[in-house]
Structure 1
Amino acid sequence: MGGDRSQHGHPAEVRRQASVPTTAAAARVLGAITGAGGRGLLVGGCVRDALLAPGSTPHDIDIEVYGLEPRALVAALSRVAHVAEVGRAFSVLVVRTQGESFDVALPRRMVRTGSGPDDVDVVVDPSATLRESSARRDLTINALAFDPASGEVVDCWGGLADLDAGILRHTGPAFSADPLRVLRAARFAAQLGFTLDPSTVALARELAPQFAVVPTERVWGEWQAMAATAAHPSAWLDVLDETGWIEHFPEVAAQRGIAQDPRWHPEGDVFAHSRLAADAGARLADEAGLTGEDRAVVVLASMLHDVGKTVSTQHRADGRITSHGHDEAGRPIAHTFLSRTGAPRSVIERVLPLVREHMVATTVRDPSAAAVRRLARRLVPATMLEWALVTGADRGGRGTASGPASTGRWLELAELAGTTRTPTAAILTGRHLVEAGMTPGPHFATTLAAALAAQDTGVITSEEDALAWLAAR
């Protein structure tokens, strides 16, 4: 553990003056706790984030209350806010006031229920100390507490030293109670640019076989949160690799050791390229102002765009390394990965065409308007803008060979055609077919698809053209 140790082998408690700004609503809740004779501490991520970004007001403020019994706490908070109970025995209270929401909890500690490694439980204990309560948290940097009354950060586990050093270290044995904490640590590495302490890496490797007990929706939750927020997705991949957890994502793991032509990819194998491309995708998505699922789609597509090379790479007799068709081959591999990981349909359907079409600007440098219209339609429900970002990430993830994407002309033509976000609407519709006396049936879809192709090539540019084209069939 980081920091000086007490006589019991634990890090000695450290206090440091700090500023953790709070809102008027948070002050109202804290005031109610103090007025009832309790002591309210800010805990967890809000303290960590405030120390990392001095002067900022943290979001998602969590409050832990000492010195009050559950019913006394509820009574005090109910005088100033709406209170809802979540969990067992008042373990967490959701408190809403002045348009803000806070999680307020009593101290909890780990209790052994048997002799096995998983025989532990978390119980509410109003008499527990801060050290006992914070021991159940995953990482030392998340076990920090801030006392608004004294203006001090209270650190029982060496979190301040780890925060200063950029280290992610497990707080204690409680880390093993939930194997998902390995993915949480990987996400923090990707968000903060921190590295795992060797002891935490070793523990994570021990926990790797327990991946099977983690619900798929929780696994996806960490992948999604990483892709939506992390500035360093490569760090996520690095942690998965060094802890052995990457083996649970075989489509990603298979990229390791797949060689590339050094003329185009001096950065190394496909895994090295995917690391750099994911970081480039995150940067480009941020520059484009993307957030949430939109950002996650671009980052994931950037990370997965070359998975097809795992099955299409060939070493030629002349020493050249090729991977013809890897773009198309990558689509089903990416689909398998995303489905297994729990990604929702809304994400899968956008990532897959971005993977399949990421080579278009490389093979066609001088596109026609028709080519742009056809690409926009093939990308649906993804967009030309997202495609340009993923293509840019591919070009920006090549180490010393990195450069700008050759998508400028494509986007210029897309802007002229109004297809940067959606394809052009179909001119010929089913209504026209009915009015022409055609009987509805499977042939409608064939006819409308052919009409769309004619529209994209410029044969049909108006309703009059469409009717003439239909009459000539």
Structure 2
Amino acid sequence: MATHSDEHPAPSVGSTRSPSGVLVGSVTCPNCATDRRRGHAHRCAAPELVTLPAAAVELLAAVRAAGGHPLVVGGAVRDALAARSAPGPLDARVAPPAAVAPKDLDIEVFGVETLDRLRPHLAAVARVDDVGASFGVLVATVGGLDVDVSVAGEPPTPAGEAAAFARRDLTVNALGWDPGSGELVDVWGGAADVAHGVLRHVGPSFSDDALRPLRAAQFVARFGWTLADDTVLACRELAHLHDTLPSSRVWGEWKKLATRGLHISRALTVLERTGWLDNFPALAATRGIEQDPAWHQEGDVLTHLGLSADVAAAAAEAERLPAEQRLLAVLGALVHDVGKPYVTTVHDDGRITSHGHESVGDPVAQDFLAGIGSPHVVRDRIGGLVAEHMCHVGVGGEPTPSAVRRLVRRLDGRSGLTIHDWARVVDADVAGRGPSAGAPVSGPWVALAGDVGAKPRKSLLTGRHLMSLGYEPGPAFTDIIRAALAAQDDGEFDDEAGAVAWFVAQEVPRVS
């Protein structure tokens, strides 16, 4: 995979590690400008850092009633800090996430030993789900807000906070906000890493969960941040454990990457640097596969897939697509050319062709999606997008109504794909080519689909018509209706009378 010009080494921000792997060194808090040491207790004023809806305030009161000291932790604090920060100094093109009220919260409770002590108090104000209890988490739902509540198992002291946050994966997630005092709690320098756009693991406990490298790639996709060099090495040491992970957890990270990410090519670079790309053979196989520079000046197929997925993600963000449609667009763009490694030919005259890669790529893409745990309907739909992404090339000039009708029917047969799902992947393919990027090509197809019907019409010829003509129901009806549908899509008739007339003209013998 070609190295992107926007890849930079992570700034050190004064960080080193002890021989045991614990993060040490100096850091400056961007919130209060205090120079301090990583791993040492640090609190500073950050009033109203996290916007808390009324339902969350009620839950926090219930935690206090149980004798607990609650901190808002993790993503809500990270995202609130990122929204306050300027883009990272190494890359002004990477903007922080927009400041929004969190839709879900993580609360860690200090001073309480067990979930059992919290449960009755939470149940008095919310619906409590024990689904995560085996992992030390209760899910409390109230007022449309989902709150993960965990117990730290530590006292509400500086030492207790340091110990609890040391168990978290990345410094940017090892952040807390005390809703009682309005203070930022930052033991491991995560606020500075947010400001610099760096993902850095906290310490040796990073290896406790083999999913964390994939989680890091997902964060890179979402925020465009950089993975620290020592964290790259920590991720590499876990690469061989991928197959031990439940597919549901793996799919959770890929789904977030596709539905929230804007920097998919950067995530691919992280997977490559950490050795995790080899856990996804369909993508790894595209590494180093040449493409004809007449059409693809950006580099190998893997580079093209990353750039195409970036385009799809940006377009989905601009359109504010629902998550389901964005998932199809981004993952469809990411895997649309996975068939190329199996059919690419370098000719004696220097031309490079990959004839038939779309049909070969359909099962390859579905195998990749099955491996990452995607639902069957997603596999079928994305396989359909891969299979059809070249159909516009085979039509010289403007598409015909019959070509559009046939495409719409084939797409609908892949778990209800639409012409718009197809168009997003096709246009991302054309635009994701670096210096040789082209303008969108789907417009005439989408426009004509609007004229002839963006949903395929049912067969105008039915079994009822055949029986009225004296034909006995049987297996032959299926073939007759299929042929009638093809003729209908070719525009040979457009109403029931025309359908019957067409059939009569076929002179199909009656079987006695």
Same fold (TM over 0.5): yes
Counterpart for residue 101 of structure 2: 57
When structure 1 is superposed on structure 2, of 390-399 and 313-322 the one drifting more is: 313-322
Residue 35 of structure 1: how far off its partner (Å): 4.7
Task: Determine which of 318, 340, 347 is the counterpart of 1:316.
Answer: 347
Cα separation, partners in 2 of 1:95 and 1:219, compared to 1, 3 Å: closer
Q: Identity across aligned pairs (percent)?
A: 47
1:303-347 deviation per Cα after TM superposition (whole angstroms, max 9, x unaligned): 111112111111111111122222222222212222222221111
Task: Determine which of 396, 406, 411 is the counterpart of 2:431.
Answer: 396
Q: How does 1:79-228 map to 2 (within 5 A)?
A: 79-88=124-133, 91-108=136-153, 129-228=160-259
Counterpart for residue 53 of structure 2: 23
**Is the 1:189–1:195 Cα contact (8 Å) retained in structure 2?**
yes
Q: Distance in 2 between matches of 1:377 and 1:410?
A: 13
Residue 206 of structure 1: how far off its partner (Å): 1.0
Residue 470 of structure 1: how far off its partner (Å): 1.9
Residue 82 of structure 1: how far off its partner (Å): 4.2
Amino acid of the residue matched to residue 375 of structure 2? Answer: P
Residue 93 of structure 1: how far off its partner (Å): 2.7
Q: Distance in 2 between matches of 1:289 and 1:444?
A: 44
Counterpart for residue 118 of structure 1: none
Q: Do structure 1's residue 459 and structure 2's residue 482 form an aligned pair?
A: no
- Structure 1: tracts of 5 or more residues without a match: 110-124
Q: Distance in 2 between matches of 1:30 and 1:163?
A: 26
Q: Distance in 1 between matches of 2:306 and 2:135?
A: 43
Q: Distance in 2 between matches of 1:374 and 1:142?
A: 49
Residue 67 of structure 1: how far off its partner (Å): 2.4
Counterpart for residue 306 of structure 2: 275
Task: Determine which of 449, 453, 473 is the counterpart of 1:414.
Answer: 449
Counterpart for residue 40 of structure 1: 70
Q: Distance in 2 between matches of 1:418 and 1:278?
A: 28
Amino acid of the residue matched to residue 68 of structure 1? Answer: V
**Is the 1:190–1:235 Cα contact (8 Å) retained in structure 2?**
yes
Q: Distance in 2 between matches of 1:77 and 1:343?
A: 34
Residue 96 of structure 1 aligns to a residue in which SS?
strand
Counterpart for residue 429 of structure 1: 462
Cα separation, partners in 2 of 1:441 and 1:313, compared to 1, 3 Å: same
Residue 477 of structure 2 aligns to a residue in which SS?
helix
Counterpart for residue 4 of structure 2: none
**Is the 1:304–1:334 Cα contact (8 Å) retained in structure 2?**
yes
Residue 96 of structure 1: how far off its partner (Å): 3.4
Counterpart for residue 115 of structure 1: none
Counterpart for residue 26 of structure 2: 4
Q: Distance in 2 between matches of 1:90 and 1:227?
A: 26
**Is the 2:290–2:301 Cα contact (8 Å) retained in structure 1?**
yes
Q: Distance in 2 between matches of 1:368 and 1:471?
A: 26
Q: Do structure 1's residue 13 and structure 2's residue 41 form an aligned pair?
A: yes
* RMSD of aligned residue pairs (Cα, Å): 2.3
When structure 1 is superposed on structure 2, of 379-388 and 357-366 the one drifting more is: 357-366
**Is the 1:417–1:424 Cα contact (8 Å) retained in structure 2?**
no
1:131-155 deviation per Cα after TM superposition (whole angstroms, max 9, x unaligned): 2122221111111010112211111
Task: Determine which of 255, 258, 272 is the counterpart of 1:241.
Answer: 272
**Is the 2:137–2:148 Cα contact (8 Å) retained in structure 1?**
yes
Amino acid of the residue matched to residue 78 of structure 2? Answer: R
Using the size of structure 1 for normalisation, the TM-score is: 0.90
Residue 384 of structure 1: how far off its partner (Å): 0.8
Using the size of structure 2 for normalisation, the TM-score is: 0.83
Cα separation, partners in 2 of 1:415 and 1:173, compared to 1, 3 Å: same
Q: Distance in 1 between matches of 2:153 and 2:405?
A: 59
Amino acid of the residue matched to residue 497 of structure 2? Answer: E
Residue 33 of structure 1: how far off its partner (Å): 3.1
Cα separation, partners in 2 of 1:40 and 1:396, compared to 1, 3 Å: same
**Is the 1:46–1:61 Cα contact (8 Å) retained in structure 2?**
yes
Greater relative CO (CA pairs within 8 A, separation 6+): 2
Task: Determine which of 284, 287, 296 is the counterpart of 2:318.
Answer: 287
Residue 449 of structure 1 aligns to a residue in which SS?
helix
Question: By percentage of residues, which structure has more helix?
Answer: 1
1:196-236 deviation per Cα after TM superposition (whole angstroms, max 9, x unaligned): 11111101111111112112222222212211221111122
Q: Distance in 2 between matches of 1:15 and 1:142?
A: 16
Q: Do structure 1's residue 358 and structure 2's residue 389 form an aligned pair?
A: yes
Q: Distance in 2 between matches of 1:230 and 1:299?
A: 9
Residue 296 of structure 1: how far off its partner (Å): 0.9
Counterpart for residue 369 of structure 1: 401
**Is the 1:256–1:270 Cα contact (8 Å) retained in structure 2?**
yes
Counterpart for residue 289 of structure 2: 258
Residue 79 of structure 1: how far off its partner (Å): 4.3
Q: Distance in 1 between matches of 2:438 and 2:307?
A: 13
**Matched residue pairs, number?**
453
